[in-house]
A and B are shown apart, each in its own frame.
Chain A
Amino acid sequence: MTIPNDIAITPALVADHRLKPDEYQKILDLIGRTPTYTELGIFSAMWNEHCSYKSSKKWLKTLPMTGPRVIQGPGENAGVVDIGDGQAVVFKMESHNHPSFIEPYQGAGTGMGGILRDVFTMGARPVAAMNALRFGAVDHEKTQHLVSGVVAGIGGYANAFGVPTVGGEVEFDASYNGNILVNAFAAGLADIDKIFLSEAKGVGLPVVYLGAKTGRDGVGGAIMASAEFGDDIEEKRPTVQIGDPFTEKRLLEACLELMATGAVIAIQDMGAAGLTCSAVEMGAKGNLGIELNLDMVPVRETNMTPYEMMLSESQERMLMVLHPDKEAVARAVFVKWELDFATVGKTTDDLRFRVIWQGDEVANLPIKELGDEAPEYDRPWTQANPAPGLAAGDVPQMDIADALLKLIGGHQIASRRWVYEQYDTMIQGNSVQRPGGDAGVIRVDGHSTKGLAFTSDVNPRYCQADPYEGGKQAVAEAWRNLTATGAEPLAATDNLNFGNPERPEIMSQLVHAIKGIGEACLALDFPIVSGNVSLYNETNGQGILPTPTIGGVGLLPDWAGMAHIGFAAENQAILLVGAPDLRGTHLGQSIYLRDLFNRRDGAAPHVDLPHERRTGDFVRKLIRSGVVTACHDLSDGGLGIALAEMAVASGIGARIERLEGQDPILQYFGEDQGRYLITVNLDPHGDAMKSLWAEAKTLGIFCPSIGTTGGADLVLGAARPVSIADLKAAHERWFPDFMASAAD
């Protein structure tokens, strides 16, 4: 089947391209005539939410995006941050939610492929990956199938490509039943003076197509990603791209080899909206026109129309502007790696985007308006309506030991080993902290001591109850997780997953979450340097929990001095740093309420940003001074779960002293923010400990000694002791049992 270019443009066809009548009118005003069919496709691809950020741009601009270490903020393929010694870390997180729901293996795999390409397009060799996954309820009929497919798809791509997966998240909630989230993160290393950008420079220079051939897969993928799901979802399967990590790996090596020759002026990977988006971005950013001759595009299917070629999302493709005198050198590199290389166009000085096919001009559009001057909306949003707090004294009771075992063996807290053992976590030989701790850590190749820490965080429960506090909390938790290894948090990437922004209550979530994120980033000197927005995450009008995932990156001057979560030795004092006087007080939106009492009420916990900053800086300083032997931040499940995780990770128990006058449920399962547990190698009655406490007091940080490590049990005050063996068994059992139950 071929689609001719002379199809009449009807209102129905415009609607099928998800262009609103006012947007179509804007097109008519802009070009002064009816667009061709190919042009309509190009507009729909460039002006959809996924490529244009038309609903979110106004708010994204408010985020802190600069800092002394930031070399490149949002707007390029990935953010770039200075890590000293002439090196930079290049990173970004991006969603592939809709494709992964339709076809989990290919959807998740190509999500990984896309983010890796974003990183090496900038000239960086990928050195770490993470993925934040959110699935439907554990008892939903599709959940195991989707978990199995997504995990295998990510592994299938990242393992073959050869990047270690160092961290991530897996969560379950019924709001994702019809719309899972697959957020993929990648980071690479580059020399600061060898960063490549997408901005074309110079007129009349060759535009070169590299990589895999163009097929019909993924035609219209970006448009799909900007639509809600209905019951016709199965019909959308052909819009999912098919990944080939073997080609991607060759493309990586070929691109890095080519960049080293000095031939590359500008480079852009073909991701969403493929050839269209990459060509328009290169031209628009460089204030240049681009002319493409589609007859030169390597294709793998016959009779492809210009519409299909321009909208194909075939994977593993790149577009570059090359120095004309180095074309032969460049071609030789690609021949060596057995990849396609074709000169498909040139840069022009007329600011037009022109597409030639079989001698005809099938598109001739103003490039700036297609690209960086696309429409922008100020969508209406409702005022914030945070969930009210719990009534005083509303503390449902349960036996502490029972609650601890249920939570650590429940779907929220249980070990993710089943997932991460399907990922290659040690390839490249630099993974010094693998999944299971607060953050993944790699050592920096070519440096004797430097390390990089990575984490991915968001708490959608809190964001649902209070998008503003939830946005703050996501940033603070990422910052905290990096700090807990001893790393200095450098910068973050945000992957904002929300429902339909045309609904004011959803737009309100987006606006307030971004406000919270911005405020926290500012207070913590933790700028956003790249990101991605995924809207319309709805099925049949039911939106997901607001999920602004934050990927954080931190720097360790010496990875050998980093902290781990496991207790290091017996008889060491356990300090709770940053806690309120009663250790824990906040039960609203906790895992304790949700998973043990099926309650989703109460306010989200408040994040006190100045206190967060002081506490984190204090903990990091203690880690770097060498007195800290283990460190873990408190998050889901509070103090009880954090202690249990530290015990399970080491096989060493702990005895926590009873605190009089406080309900132990609040103490052990409250989810108050800004808290860390540390163990120290100090004499509890010695001078060093006294000076530690004196410093904390000066800083206004409460850090009581709450107990001692040792033994084979975890003893929480007066509660029944729980053996580490039982905790570990419960922790490890849930995921394999859950996945095995799918076969029944």
Chain B
Amino acid sequence: MKSAVIVFPGLNRDRDMIAALTKVSGTAPAIVWHQDTDLPDVDLIVIPGGFSYGDYLRCGAIAARSPIMDRVRERADKGVKVLGVCNGFQILIEAGLLPGALMRNTSLKFVCREVKLEITNTNTAFTSGYAQGQIIRCPVAHHDGNYFADSETLDRLSGEGQIAFRYAEDTNPNGSLRDIAGILNAGKNVLGLMPHPENLIEAAHGGTDGRALFSGLLDEAA
């Protein structure tokens, strides 16, 4: 199993993500700087969270137009798995790899707390470690996680099993339509989500509910 983490200036959960991938797989991911021209041959590409380019213009908008994202798009088209968390999710949306938009939280405030997530599709590489309908704990920490898409897109996402995670038990922290916390592309090899499973993988985090996302991926790729 090989993975790579893409780093843009201003990201700040890259170290958390690298630690999670290393702890779960036993192997450190390749680190790809945004100006690097080639992407190593990996099974999983991860874009971690943070504030790439200071969230200036729109969250993820500048990073999404970085040349490295063309390489990511090519790999995604070939079926390589791509995971974007928080700012990584925003970047994937801005890059057109996932549909919809992430708007400012309805509270207009940054929110950092633990929420509940329902696993709505376990038939993917990312979620196979969970049970259908399982409710897990997971932290969120964002200012712009309010998922929006037109109703046609939302219906399609629901119908095609492209919604991977929904906020459960009235814990939607940002006003996302249909409680959407994470979505997949049509090919189910690209996942973006706002919550931070990488911050809930060991006892020191107060729980390990996020771990199955990584172990599922790594097992499958191994």
Residues of chain A touching chain B, judged by Cβ–Cβ distance below 8 Å, are 152, 155-156, 159-162, 244-247, 249-250, 336-338, 420-430, 432, 443, 559-560
Contacts and interface: CB of A to CB of B under 8 A. Distances in A.
8 contacts: A152-B109, A160-B55, A249-B9, A249-B10, A422-B111, A428-B16, A429-B19, A429-B198
Nearest to A252: B12
Nearest to A442: B204
B110 A162 contact: no
A247 B15 CA distance: 18
Nearest to A425: B112
Of A152, A245, A421, most buried by chain B (CB within 10 Å of CB) is A421
A424 B54 contact: no
B141 interface: yes
B139 interface: yes
Contacts of B110: 152, 155-156, 159, 422-424
Nearest to A161: B12
Nearest to A339: B9
Nearest to B203: A560
B178 interface: no
A427 B53 contact: no
Contacts of A443: 204
B205 interface: yes
A156 B143 CA distance: 9
Interface string B178-222: 000000000000000000101100011110000000000000000
Nearest to B12: A162
B51 interface: yes
Q: Report whether over half of chain B's contact residues are helix, strand or loop; otherwise say mixed.
A: mixed
Contacts of A430: 204
A429 B51 contact: no
A155 B107 CA distance: 15
Interface in B49-63: 50-51, 53-56
Given A246-B10, A250-B9, A421-B111, A426 B141 contact: yes
A423 B15 contact: no
A421 B112 contact: yes
Given A336-B35, A428-B15, A429-B20, 20 more contacts: A156-B110, A159-B51, A159-B141, A160-B10, A160-B51, A245-B51, A246-B51, A246-B54, A250-B9, A250-B10, A421-B111, A422-B111, A423-B112, A424-B110, A425-B112, A426-B199, A426-B205, A427-B12, A443-B204, A560-B203
Interface of B: 9-10, 12-13, 15-16, 19-20, 35, 50-51, 53-56, 109-113, 139, 141, 143, 196, 198-199, 203-206
A429 B205 contact: yes
A345 B204 CA distance: 48
Nearest to B54: A246
A424 B139 CA distance: 10
Contacts of B139: 426
A426 B197 CA distance: 12
Contacts of A246: 9-10, 51, 53-56
Contacts of A250: 9-10
Contact of A427 (B16, B109, B203, B204): B16
A427 B54 contact: no
Contacts of B51: 159-160, 245-246, 249
Nearest to A337: B9
A176 to B, nearest CB: 23
A338 B9 contact: yes
A249 B12 contact: yes
A432 B204 contact: yes
A95 to B, nearest CB: 23
A162 B50 contact: yes
A718 B115 CA distance: 40
Contacts of B54: 160, 244-247
Contacts of B55: 160, 246
A213 B54 CA distance: 17
A-B pairs, top 8 by smallest CB distance, nearest first, are A246-B54, A162-B12, A160-B51, A424-B141, A429-B16, A155-B110, A246-B10, A424-B112
B109 A422 contact: yes
A544 B54 CA distance: 36
Nearest to B205: A429
Contacts of B50: 160, 162
A420 B206 CA distance: 18
A84 to B, nearest CB: 19
Contacts of A427: 12-13, 16, 141, 199
A161 B51 CA distance: 8
Given A421-B113, A424-B141, A429-B19, A162 B13 contact: yes
Nearest to B56: A246
Contacts of A424: 110, 112, 141
Given A245-B51, A422-B112, A424-B110, A429 B10 contact: no
B198 to A, nearest CB: 7
Nearest to B201: A429
Nearest to A152: B109
Contacts of B16: 427-429
Contacts of B205: 426, 429
B70 to A, nearest CB: 20
B160 to A, nearest CB: 33
A424 B50 CA distance: 11
A160 B51 CA distance: 6
Contacts of A244: 54
A179 B5 CA distance: 46
A316 B79 CA distance: 42
Nearest to B51: A160
A162 B9 CA distance: 12
A10 to B, nearest CB: 44
Of B56, B110, B143, B206, most buried by chain A (CB within 10 Å of CB) is B110
A246 B50 CA distance: 10
A422 B196 CA distance: 16
A422 B112 CA distance: 6
B28 to A, nearest CB: 15
B167 to A, nearest CB: 15
Nearest to A160: B51
Nearest to B111: A421
A424 B86 CA distance: 13
A76 B198 CA distance: 36
A155 to B, nearest CB: 5
A162 B112 CA distance: 13
Contacts of B53: 246
A560 to B, nearest CB: 8
A109 to B, nearest CB: 12
Contacts of B56: 246
A739 to B, nearest CB: 10
A160 B12 contact: yes
A743 to B, nearest CB: 12
A447 B57 CA distance: 40
Contacts of B198: 429
Of A159, A244, A425, A432, most buried by chain B (CB within 10 Å of CB) is A159
B33 to A, nearest CB: 8
Nearest to B33: A336
Contact of A429 (B109, B112, B113, B199): B199
Of A244, A245, A426, A443, most buried by chain B (CB within 10 Å of CB) is A426
Of A155, A161, A162, A247, most buried by chain B (CB within 10 Å of CB) is A162
